[in-house]
Structure 1
Amino acid sequence: MPDTRQPSVPRTACVVGGGPAGAVSAAVLARHGWQVTLLERQPAPRTKCCGECLVPRAAAWLAELGLGNALEQARAGSTREVRMLDARAGNAHPVWTHAFGGQPGVIVPRAAFDAALRDGARRAGAAIHAGRGAKLIQAGGDVGAQVGGRVAGGALATSASVDGARIGAPAVVTITALNDSSVAPRDVQFDLVVAADGVGSAIARAAGLAPTTTGSRAGWSFTFEHCTDDHTLAPAGTIELILFGSAYLGLVRRGHVVHMAAIVERGDRWPSAPPEALRMMATRAPQLARFLAHYEASQPLPALEAACGPLPWQPRAVTAGRVALV
């Protein structure tokens, strides 16, 4: 994390990505006197591939950062425990349960959570720009640092100073209005660029932080609405994790909605199509099979909500020049 003490001359930061990592980074920097610009490609928050759950420690941490109101704004339910089931033998029996104790966990649908955190960052003083693309042109740091084919020590690589101290070249980002061709792209200098643009981060790749190899897993999620089952699968208040050896399925219930998210080892006999992979999981977990049969008796399976991969995506480093990966 950069030095967040307030300088006499405001420092500038560009946060690329408006998910939780980006919005929280923007809020913290803005509260410490930085001039923050947050850029998000999508015009509005959308559903992502995630489990939609925060453990109590994460909820407490957001409150400490001044984002407790954002969390309450997005809250859709609470959890009291995590339960693991082993389905490798085909019967999905419980093997481990952990109760949270005093404070509950929080269920936060991703689109609502992203929107609430961005609102929190805006209230902290960050400028939020949706529908904006960002391309890293210069990583900054030492004079002459460059990426993207620019000549080292070229026109963009000029020194800068904060509080009178020479700190080398700034980072440079080309900002593009993705949905408005009348707005010309522009190059903007920043003291810090925070890469929060997710798996496969384009900013990380441009800064030379991307891994040389990628993982072999993929993630996907479904949301089942209007559920009328008997709650044997994913009972209210429980985060349920079903383990399949080379895959796992996480489930959580909020009212009449059941959210499912999975990580699957690609090429390990699992179908590439998520609906078929889910059906294969059901052959090893009777609770899941009964849930799907009951659901499909009155309505079709929901469409795939989101997917991501390859996973894991482990960078070679988390900083380069004036770029920090979160």
Structure 2
Amino acid sequence: MITIAIDAMGGDNAPKAIVDGANLAIKTFNDIQINLYGDSESIEQYLVKDDRIKVIHTTEIVTGEDEPVRAIRRKKDSSMVVAARDVKEGKADALLSAGNTGALLTAGLLVVGRIKNIDRPGLMPIIPTVSKESPQVILMDAGANAEVKPVNLEQFTVLANFYAKNVLNVENPRIGLLNNGTEEGKGNSITKEAFDLMKQLDDINFIGNVEAKSILTGEVDIVITDGFTGNAVLKTLEGTVKSIVGLLLDTLKNSGLKTKIGAGLIKDSLKETFNNLDDTKQGGAVLLGVKSPVIKAHGSSNDEAIFNAIRQARTVVSAGVVQDAVNYFEN
């Protein structure tokens, strides 16, 4: 049985969306146990009673305004910290939260703990692409490390490669280093040195430098970068997709009769396209490099997004990605 510890008080729609997502997951998967951490009265009003859902009462909440390190160190009875502590102590196999990103990263690092010989863990979201052959791409790092050393990018490459192979079932992931040009020798001193390190990795399909315009095309399965650049790219992609979808829908709704008739004819195809670009179906961003899976769901997650993050946590635990990383870096 896989046990998933969930911060039920984290996120814009907590606790209702968190609990509703957990209720759906318990119905769907018969091999998981869910522990919900937070104010028991608030949680139980939405909970469908099941022997495989347990509520652990906590008295504090890490808010979006909290300074991450201070919150993790001082709010010892918060839903996020108690859930992380149970993962560290082996009472749960994975940690999931839609709450304060910085605080969750801090909890992963300080409470769950970093894998030996990994300098810095990285935050890794899965992004839907426009390619039917390669419908998703890994972005690593997307916010955990604003500044990196070349060795960090090298380690991100190994970690993301394990994930792509074992969780996404990509046989030979194509890995690119995000840069301002595709030619070898492009970039700053960090990316140039990282390029040389990544070229020398065994069993890694490193295809060289890639530009940001290639992220959604399916040309690459994994994009490696620093957390500052990765987060900026991620937010830009999210905003661009939502803006284009919104503009298209507005045009179809508010144009003339011919446009509306045309919209009716293509609505099924449009719906399929929009579903393919829906990032809530991908789950959350995984913090790779710590001793147990830590998953950050989007702060605005609804019940479907939480369900998909739980599904993702289940898959990550089953695939043994963390143990692969331990074996690689500690031996």
TM range (shorter): under 0.3
TM-score by length of structure 2 reads 0.25
Identify, as 1 or 2, the structure richer in helix: 2
Identify, as 1 or 2, the structure richer in strand: 1
